[in-house]
Amino acid sequence: MSGNATEVTDALLGIAEAVIVLGPVVRLDGEILPVQWEDTAAYAAERHLKHTLPREVDFVPVGRQLTKKLWKRAHCVSDCNQWYELDQIHIIPEGFRKMAAAEGLPSWIRFRDGA
């Protein structure tokens, strides 16, 4: 994964003013719920990307936004499926609104009121 991500971002840095990579989100269909965020494949991918992408790339982790706090830790629980389509892979508009609350997102990617 990191090889492709690095190649793509390097190519984009050569032609774009800025590159922003949004971190991965959990695919609930592949997880046994409840699961702590740090034990998900999305978390592992997020950490890997954060440490391998070029420094010039703005990396914004968004996956934690689609979790619930339990015992002061982020967890994926069955209630998290409210932000996904029935396939538990694709995110619905309400899930994107929740992800848009992540710190570090540029203003152009945020939802407007009433959108």
Q: Tell me: pLDDT of 3 over 60.
A: yes
pLDDT for 42 beyond 60? yes
Sign of the torsion formed by the C-alpha atoms of 70, 73, 77 and 82: positive
The sheet with strand 73-76 has its strands ordered as 35-36, 73-76, 68-70
Residue 76 has a pLDDT of 92
Alpha carbons 47 and 34: distance in angstroms, whole number: 21
Assess whether pLDDT exceeds 90 at residue 90: yes
- Calculate the average pLDDT of the chain: 88
Instruction: Tell me the mean pLDDT in the region 21-26.
Output: 92
In this prediction the pTM is 0.82
